[in-house]
Amino acid sequence: MLTYFLRRLLMAIPVMFFVAVFVFLLLRLTPGDPAQAIAGDQASLDQLEQIRETLGLNEPLSVQFLTWIGNMAQGDFGRSLISDRPVLEMIGQRLGPTVALALVAMGLTLIIALPMGVLAAWRHGGMTDRLVMAVSVIGFSVPIFVIGYILIGIFAVNLRWFPVQGYKALADGLWPFVHRIFLPGLALASIYIALISRMTRASMLEVLREDYVRTARAKGLPESLVLFRHALRNAAIPILTVVGTGFAMMISGVVVTETVFNIPGLGRLVVDAVLARDYPLIQAIILLTAGTYVLINLLIDLSYALTDPRIRYQ
């Protein structure tokens, strides 16, 4: 298992290197000038030139890239060009809300989507199945920000059950936290619920055709045991896989959700950073999210072994 883990980590190196080169080139080969973002629109060209010189933006690209990679290898992600703060510190400040939002959305998803998918597969072809599929296809089709606004319109503005915006950390108390994160969590979860319930249903449909499910039924087991003990555990791997690849989708949702609900998370930070051409910040965020993606998918691969004893990684 450890060997497997190490091997996968080794494999992640070229992946991350590709990401690093790709992102660096993407940013540097496109127009836009961070000096302008620092100095504001009324700054003169002399001023800009001076700032560029100080920031090292006039160095050749290869030098800039090597410096950046070298620093990163030492754990130094650099400082924001705009705010002149360490990039990691800025990311750290914004990480909490985003992680909380993602976890809440994921929790809601699992609570809602798994039973939905299992039920739909169990009653395959029936009304429940059609209803679940309808909910899921609608979840895929309505943009998150529209869902967000509808939720705000109904639950925050009309019913006044929830605040319209903002974020409170868990440290500020459980209720304020839950109260503020529920709607954005739900909005973000919508597309995920659609995805996971679909995947659960499909995977369960497949598993329910398996011989061992027939065996379980032949043993006269209660249907709930057949579904949740025998079938769902076997259906777990494709579901887990989607949870992993869906992480990228989650990030897209986070960016939009944070904007709609005004949550000071990474999503907004990255949009701001892109608009301001804050190269080190953009690079660090993309690299970190890519790294997280790789890591999450690695962990998910490892977790297969927990659900399926046949998988013993060499």
Partner 1 sequence: MKLFNIKALGAAALLASSVAALPAWAETTLTAVMQAPLRSLDPHLSTAQIVRTHGFMVFETLLGMDDQYQPQPQMADYTVSDDMLTYTLTLRDGLMWHDGTPVTAEDCVASLNRWSQQDGSAKTMMKYVDSIEATSDKELVIHMKSPFGPVLELLAKPSPIPAFMMPKRLAETPIGTQIPEVIGSGPFKFVADEYRPGDQAVYVKNEDYIPRDEPASWTAGAKVVNVDKVVWQAMPDMQTSINAIQSGDVDLIEQVTIDLLPLLAMNEEVETGILNPLGAQVTGRFNHRLPPFDDPQVRKAVMYALDQETIMQTAIGNPDYFQLCASIYGCEVPLASDVGAEYLEGTAEERMAKAKEILAASDYDGTPVLMMQPTDLTVLTTQPIVAAERMREAGFTVEVASMDWSTLQSRKNGWQPVSEGGWNFFFTYWGVAGIWNPLVHSLINGSGEDNTWAGWPVNARMEELRAAYLTAGTAEEQKQIAEEIQQIAWDDSFYFNAGEFKSVAAWRTELHDIQSGPITLFWGVSK
Partner 2 sequence: MTATPPVLSVRDLKVSTMGRRPAEILKGISFDIHPGETLCLVGESGSGKSVTSLVTMDLLPRGELEVTSGTAALNGEDIVTASPARTKALRGAEMAMIFQEPMTALNPVLPIGLQMDEIYKAHTRMRPAERKTAALEAFEAVSLPDPPRIYDSFPHQLSGGQRQRVMIAMALALKPKLLIADEPTTALDVTTQKQILELIRKLQEEMNTAVLFITHDMGVVVDIADRVCVMRHGEVVETGAVDQVLGAPREDYTRALLAAVPSLTPRPARAQQAPEPVLELEAVNKVFAFRPFLDKLLRRPGHRVQAVSDVSFRLDRGRTLGIVGESGSGKSTVARCVLRLEDPTSGAILVNGHDIAPLEGQTALEPARRAVQMIFQDPNRSLNPRLTTGDSLIEGALNAGEPRAEALQRAGELLEVVGLPRDALARYPHQFSGGQRQRIAIARALMMSPDVIVADEAVSALDVSVQAQVLELLAEVQAKRNLAVLFITHDLRVAAQICDDVMVMRRGEVVEFGPAGQVLAHPQHAYTRALLEAAPGRDWDFAAGRRVTEPA
Partner 3 sequence: MSLTTSAPASPRKRLLENPPHWTTVLALIVLLAIIAMALFAPQLAHFEPTKLNAMMRLKPADETYWMGTDSFGRDLYSRVVYGARVSLLVGAGVAVGAIVIGLPLGLLAGWFRGLDAVLMRAMDGLMAIPGILLAIAIVALTKAGLTTVIIAIMLPEIPQVVRLVRARVLATRSETFVEAAVLLGTRPMRIIWRHLLPSTIAPLIVQGTYIYASAILTEAALSFLGVGIGTETPTWGNIMAEGRLYFAMNPWLVYWPAIVLSLCILSINLLGDALRDRLDPKMKGRS
Residues of the shown chain interacting with partner 2 in the complex, contacts defined by CB under 8 A: 3, 6-7, 10, 124-125, 210-212, 214-222, 225, 229-230, 233-234, 307-310, 314
Other CB atoms within a 10 A radius of the CB of residue 89 amount to 12
264 binds partner 1 (CB under 8 A): yes
Q: Which amino acid is at 235?
A: A
Residues contacting residue 281 through CB under 8 Å, at least 6 positions apart: 80, 81, 82, 87, 90, 91, 269, 270, 273
Q: Which residue in the set 150, 262, 299, 308 belongs to the binding site for partner 1 (CB under 8 A)?
A: 262
Residue 86 DSSP SS3: strand
Phi, psi of 79 (to 5 degrees): -115, 150
Q: What's the N-to-C CA distance of the chain in angstroms?
A: 6
By CB under 8 A, the residues from 230 to 249 that bind partner 3 are 242, 245, 248-249
Q: Which residue in the set 5, 8, 50, 241 belongs to the binding site for partner 1 (CB under 8 A)?
A: 50
User: Quick one: 288 or 302, whose CB is closer to partner 2?
Assistant: 302
Q: Which amino acid is at 237?
A: I
Other CB atoms within a 10 A radius of the CB of residue 73 amount to 8
Pull the structure tokens for residue 203.
């995977």
From 53-61, 80-88, 134-142, 222-230, give the range in contact with partner 3 by CB under 8 A.
134-142
Q: Which does 67 bind (CB under 5 to 8 A by kind): partner 2, partner 3, partner 1, none?
A: none
98, 103, 105, 106 alpha-carbon torsion, rounded to 10°:
140
Q: Which does 221 bind (CB under 5 to 8 A by kind): partner 3, partner 2, partner 1, none?
A: partner 2
What does the alpha-carbon distance between residue 22 and residue 28 come to, in Å, rounded to a whole number?
A: 10
What residues line the site for partner 1 (CB under 8 A)?
A: 31-33, 36-48, 50-51, 53-55, 80, 82-85, 90, 93-94, 152, 156-157, 163-166, 259-262, 264, 268-269, 271-273, 275-277
Which residues contribute to the site for partner 3 (CB under 8 A)? 11, 14-19, 22-23, 26-27, 30-32, 137-138, 140-146, 149, 153, 157, 195, 198-199, 201-202, 205-206, 242, 245, 248-249, 251-252, 255-256, 259, 270-271, 274-275, 277, 282, 285-286, 289-291, 293-294
